[in-house]
Amino acid sequence: MIDLREAVTRAHHEEWARVVAALTRRFGDLDIAEEAAAEAFTTAVERWPADGVPPNPGAWLTTTANRRAIDRIRRENKRDDKHREAQMAYHDDPPEPVGAIDDDRLRLIFTCCHPALAMEARVALTLRMVGGLTVPEIARAFLVAESAMGQRITRAKAKIKAARIPYRVPSAEDLPARVSSVLAVLFLVFNEGYLATGPGTDPLRHDLTAEAIRLTRLIRTLLPDDGEVAGLLALMLLTEARRTARVSAAGELVPLDEQDRGAWDTALIAEGHRLVRERLAAAVAGVAPGSYQILAAINAVHTSARDMRDTDWSQILALYDQLVRLDPSPIIALNRAIAVAELDGPQVALAAVDRLEHRLAGYHPYHATRADLLRRLGRSQQSRAAYDKAIELAGNTAETAYLTRRRDQLR
């Protein structure tokens, strides 16, 4: 029984996107593809225990889903004769060559992450159509009511159909912008798992970080030459490697300088470092790195150090300087200031942080960073006020617990 459940789970992970993608191309309709794929997996759960797992689960699922889709179209055609001609045109398409399968999954990903869709719709649609998560699972992940999440996905599919968002891989000239739209979706899913925003959920959501990594690996397989895809995957792996060390037994977030580095996942770190080295070689050859590659390099420096003092802060600051030139966002400037504090002391860093006030007043890490710098400068009263503000704005339970302890330790 356990083997069977494993077989279904594995088939779901490996084949869901393939089945949905192939059906979407054949029938030109995300709705039909999604429903038929879901039915095929339900049928597998019912039939495989008695019939055994088929030798090629992917082919079995695709065939079953195809039949379900055709059944549905026939049912609908009885209701709507005019529709039939349009749908029959798809049936007459010759079967695509086998090599096109990977392109199908890419088509699916680019369609779900199309820039004409709102960011939250892209996230939901990608997790459903590419990731194969159920609507209730996605709703839980983002603390949204199931009906609202269902509607979000339905509306996005309707927009794709009504506005005719194309089902294809973008042309070479559009590719970088469109890949970055896909990566932004995956990074958002990862970050929600890395530091969940809501107080009503676990502080770290391994299900979300794992899903984001799985999908990024898939895109890496499909676009092996894209440096930013490699960069984002490395960034995720090097972050995920520290997961178990990031929350204490008491449920408190553990900052980098207090983490037990022996608890870091060495296999993930090794894989992340390999990717960073690969991108460094490309940079040496003259390919300018994008933001994810630089962020990955910063994390590679952290994960190469035995402890906080051993960290090569001048290297980290140089990388942040490079990042600021690409992305002048105040959040990058804030993180850069943390490196400045290690090199030039908290006074210099505080001056840099204070300059960001008008842009980051509602962002809790701004107040948490100020609180820490003020504490190191012995300005307890101001530090306490900054901790209060950070606690008020932070939603993550483990982070709130950490900030509260730090505040209460002030003298």
What's the Cα-to-Cα distance from 58 to each of 34, 161, 185, 304, 397, rounded to whole Å? 15, 27, 27, 41, 41
Q: Which is nearer to another protein, 177 or 361 (CB)?
A: 177
Provide φ and ψ at 253, rounded to 5°: -65, 135
Q: Which is nearer to another protein, 121 or 236 (CB)?
A: 121
Dihedral of alpha carbons 150, 156, 162, 168, sign: negative
Q: How far is the CB of 29 from another protein (least distance, A)?
A: 15
The HSE-up count of residue 312 (CA atoms within 13 Å, CB side) is: 13
Angle between helices 30-51 and 57-79 (to 10 degrees): 130
Q: How far is the CB of 24 from another protein (least distance, A)?
A: 15
Q: Which is nearer to another protein, 115 or 365 (CB)?
A: 115
The region that residue 39 occupies, defined by phi over 0 for left and psi between -120 and 50 for alpha, beta otherwise, is alpha
Q: What is the DSSP letter of 123?
A: H
Q: How far is the CB of 164 from another protein (least distance, A)?
A: 5
Nearest partner of 374 among 390, 363, 389, 387, judged by Cα: 387
The 268-287 contact track toward another protein, x by CB under 8 A, reads: --------------------
253 three-class SS: strand
Q: Which is nearer to another protein, 165 or 298 (CB)?
A: 165
Q: How far is the CB of 229 from another protein (least distance, A)?
A: 21
Q: Which is nearer to another protein, 38 or 185 (CB)?
A: 185
Query: Are 367 and 390 within 8 A, CB to CB?
Result: yes
Question: Which residues in 29-48 contact another protein (CB under 8 A)?
Answer: none
Give the span between the Cα atoms of 144 and 136, in whole angstroms.
9
Q: How far is the CB of 162 from another protein (least distance, A)?
A: 5
The 59-98 contact track toward another protein, x by CB under 8 A, reads: ----------------------------------------
Instruction: Retrieve residue 238's tokens.
Output: 């090097």
Structural Rg of the chain based on CA atoms: 24
The 145-184 contact track toward another protein, x by CB under 8 A, reads: -----------------xxxxx---x---x----------
Q: Which is nearer to another protein, 161 or 274 (CB)?
A: 161
Give the span between the Cα atoms of 202 and 195, in whole angstroms.
9
Give the span between the Cα atoms of 367 and 383, in whole angstroms.
9
The 208-247 contact track toward another protein, x by CB under 8 A, reads: ----------------------------------------
Q: Which is nearer to another protein, 164 or 411 (CB)?
A: 164
Q: How far is the CB of 75 from another protein (least distance, A)?
A: 23
Give the span between the Cα atoms of 243 and 240, in whole angstroms.
5
Residue 253 forms beta bridges with which residues? 247
Question: Which residues in 283-312 contact another protein (CB under 8 A)?
Answer: none
Tell me the site size for another protein, rule CB under 8 A: 9
Q: How far is the CB of 183 from another protein (least distance, A)?
A: 19
The C-alpha angle 218, 221, 222, rounded to 5 degrees, equals 90
The 102-141 contact track toward another protein, x by CB under 8 A, reads: ------------x-x-------------------------
Q: Which is nearer to another protein, 114 or 364 (CB)?
A: 114
Dihedral of alpha carbons 376, 323, 213, 270, sign: negative
Q: Which is nearer to another protein, 65 or 160 (CB)?
A: 160
Q: Which is nearer to another protein, 79 or 164 (CB)?
A: 164
Q: How far is the CB of 163 from another protein (least distance, A)?
A: 5
What's the Cα-to-Cα distance from 170 to each of 22, 103, 139, 165, rounded to whole Å? 18, 11, 30, 11
The answer to whether residue 365 forms part of the interface with another protein (CB under 8 A) is no
Give residues in contact with another protein (CB under 8 A): 114, 116, 162-166, 170, 174
